[in-house]
Structure 1
Amino acid sequence: MAEEAKTGSGIWETIKTIVYALLIAGIFRTLFFQPFWIPSGSMKETLLIGDFLFVNKMAYGYSYASCPSLIISRVGLNIDAEDVCGWMKSEDNSRIWGGEPARGDVIVFRHPVSGRDYIKRLMGLPGDRIQVRNGQVILNGTPVPQQPDGVFTELSEPQGPQRLRPRCENGPVGLGGLCEKSRLIETLPNGVSYDVLNIGKQGSDNTGIYTVPEGHYFFMGDNRDNSSDSRVPQSAGGVGYVPYENLIGRADRIMFSSAGRSMLFFWTWRGDRFFKAVN
């Protein structure tokens, strides 16, 4: 009997340890840093498919979107942030200990319709007027300067767990061929500079004028021709304007990067991207 009691006690202690560990991890992820794996190429070359980073959730304070979602489609698990922290949603689009994001920040936010996490660059603040003409951003009537900076190259091959093939400016490229995109350095009025890529002429290179509503933000991907962002309204399947309370956090630094299907494939690791700052 004593041996059975000891065994039962050991199992119970193991269960408690696991529960405590999950609680601590959940609190840490909710309040401080949330891991984020880059699944698509919309932010190349700032962020590549397979980059792994921690999102600083203290940067802008907290809202219901700060609670992590847990989605594992293979087993039918879909616990949304709103399911857990919907009680934090506010009628006035506010945050707890709210901080103001800066133009040019790379931010993870909750899509206003689907609830999925997106990562893009903040281009428009409340009240801004934004337009794109011939691929150049016009901010409050003034073109945002772009400086040609050579060519971004990558192999035309499946990338990441989703096995996505890159789009190329130099036409359809066969498997294993060299995929090229024009690179430009874009500099915002506050001095933030970063690379943007061009693939070709398309509808999103010329838009109407967007006026960002109060309490909302306008986002764009750095890989301009391969990004679903605020240039497309939510009614048409895009991101549209993002409410303040939907911000999750700021991407500050890449911790790890893998070009393969799994982070366990060590031969695909990109050592030059470990601990790289996100600009």
Structure 2
Amino acid sequence: MNFALILFLLLLVSGVLWTLDHFVASKRRSVGAKTPWWVEYGASFFPVILVVFCLRSFVVEPFKIPSGSMIPTLLVGDFILVNKWTYGIRLPVINKKIMEVNTPQRGDVMVFRFPADPSLDYIKRVVGLPGDKIEYIDKKLTINGVAQPQTHIADYLHTDRLFYSPSYLEKLGDVEHRIIVENDAPAYVSQIIKYPFQENCTYTNRGVSCTVPAGHYFMMGDNRDGSFDSRGWGFVPEQNIVGKAFFIWFNFSDLKRIGSFH
């Protein structure tokens, strides 16, 4: 469901009703005559829909985390806010950038339209920038020939299934974050679909090596063995970017999650 398109159509309809009522119908209506219900409701909703549309399109947009691919940073059921202007001002619905602000940086948690199906929103961490050579071999991440620092910390407890996963602190650029890696999971990429610039990647039984094409980004989940990401479906083009995730504003199962991510 394209909620942005639905909201835009509601804004258009309510705006037309408000304009017609304000400039035409109200002047022709006799004194004391009752406003038709469909005009009254449509016109009264217009300012509310306009505010929501502008906030959602240009400032922040709420999302709900549907999967465990970003554990332990983001959990299933987290409601997050996404900054819509961090990576530039874009026209709603068509997502065309009209003003440059910043570009994604390594370590950012980014929401984007899934390249294989743009009707779906995905969330992963930015690992590779345009031109980077990314290697994920034997479950170790290397960027442009430099191994990314990892420090083993206390194992992560999956409270829903009561088992532990090895956990590490990884540093990407200036961002230090937790990841989990399953020692008994295979190192090779088990799920691969056909994608543009697939010739930029080499797959072996030890992992994958890719060179990120211009105007694209390489994304990975923090749950390294539980994430279907750029290793399997390729690169995220710049025009698919939605925004930068920065805040957990609610979680029905755990209120302590509120504000735990930034």
TM-score, length basis structure 2? 0.75
Q: Is the 8 A contact 2:81 2:249 kept in 1?
A: yes
Aligned pair in 2 of structure 1 residues 153, 4: CA closer, same or farther (>3 Å)?
farther
Ranges of 4+ aligned residues in structure 1 off by more than 3 Å? 2-5, 8-11
The offset of 1:193, in angstroms, is 0.7
User: Equivalents in 2 of 1:219, 1:185: separation in Å?
Assistant: 18
The offset of 1:274, in angstroms, is 1.1
Aligned to 1:210: 210
The offset of 1:10, in angstroms, is 5.8
State the SS of the aligned residue for 1:181: strand
Aligned to 1:44: 71
Aligned to 1:77: none
User: Equivalents in 2 of 1:183, 1:4: separation in Å?
Assistant: 71
Aligned to 2:143: 139
Q: Is the 8 A contact 1:63 1:245 kept in 2?
A: no
Aligned to 2:43: 16
- From 96, 100, 104, the equivalent of 1:101 is 104
Identity, % of aligned pairs? 36
Per-residue Cα deviation, 1:199-252 (whole angstroms, up to 9, x for no partner): 2322238323200011111000000111111111xxxxx2x1111121111111
| Structure 1: gaps (5+ residues) | 68-80, 89-93, 157-176, 233-237, 259-267
State the SS of the aligned residue for 2:177: strand
Amino acid at match of 1:243: P
State the SS of the aligned residue for 2:100: coil
Q: Is the 8 A contact 2:72 2:222 kept in 1?
A: yes
Aligned pair in 2 of structure 1 residues 191, 147: CA closer, same or farther (>3 Å)?
same
- From 85, 106, 110, the equivalent of 1:58 is 85
User: Equivalents in 2 of 1:275, 1:229: separation in Å?
Assistant: 26
Q: Is the 8 A contact 1:63 1:246 kept in 2?
A: no
State the SS of the aligned residue for 1:29: helix
User: Equivalents in 1 of 2:54, 2:37: separation in Å?
Assistant: 26
Amino acid at match of 2:109: V
- From 178, 195, 204, the equivalent of 2:162 is 178
- 1:210-249 correspondence runs (5 A): 210-232=210-232, 238=233, 240-249=234-243
User: Equivalents in 2 of 1:111, 1:95: separation in Å?
Assistant: 21
Aligned to 1:153: 157
Amino acid at match of 2:132: D
| Structure 2: gaps (5+ residues) | 1-29, 190-204
Between Structure 1 and Structure 2, how many residues are aligned? 215
Aligned to 2:178: 195
Per-residue Cα deviation, 1:163-194 (whole angstroms, up to 9, x for no partner): xxxxxxxxxxxxxx512211111112x23110
Q: How well do the aligned residues superpose, as a CA RMSD in angstroms?
A: 2.2
